[in-house]
Amino acid sequence: MRETDVFSEIWTFICQHCSHVWQDEYEARHCDDGHGGDTVSWRYRGLCSMPPWANATCVNCEAAMVKVLPAVPPAVPPAVPPAVPPGSGDRRRPAGTGSAG
């Protein structure tokens, strides 16, 4: 078998028992199986593991009622909004006005 691609994927887990939400990073290693097919093996914290959706249990209450949401793509920095020009919406009172005494 030959590794073709390795992806790091962030999976979100939601406990339906205690509502605890957490994320874990899994590594999906795609290998060609030598017959023109593609197999995926999973690694978690550097160790071979089951797929994220298999046998998921809550890290908080250990319940097995865990909803597993698909992996999100790698974090992309949000688009930077255009800079607000200085002076807009910033009205300063001229000095010297006010209570004269």
In the complex, the residues that contact Zn ion under the rule CB under 5 A are: 15, 17-18, 20, 58, 60-61, 63
Nearer to Zn ion, 15 or 56 (CB): 15
DSSP H or E segment with residue 28? strand 21-32
Nearer to Zn ion, 41 or 57 (CB): 57
Provide the minimum distance between the beta carbon of 67 and Zn ion in the complex, in angstroms, as a whole number.
11
The string of DSSP letters for 39-95 reads EEEEEETTEEE--TTTT---TTT--S-EEEEEEEPPP-PPPPPPPPPTTTT-PPPPT
Provide the minimum distance between the beta carbon of 57 and Zn ion in the complex, in angstroms, as a whole number.
8
Nearer to Zn ion, 17 or 29 (CB): 17
Provide the minimum distance between the beta carbon of 55 and Zn ion in the complex, in angstroms, as a whole number.
15
CB of 13 within 8 A of CB of 67? yes
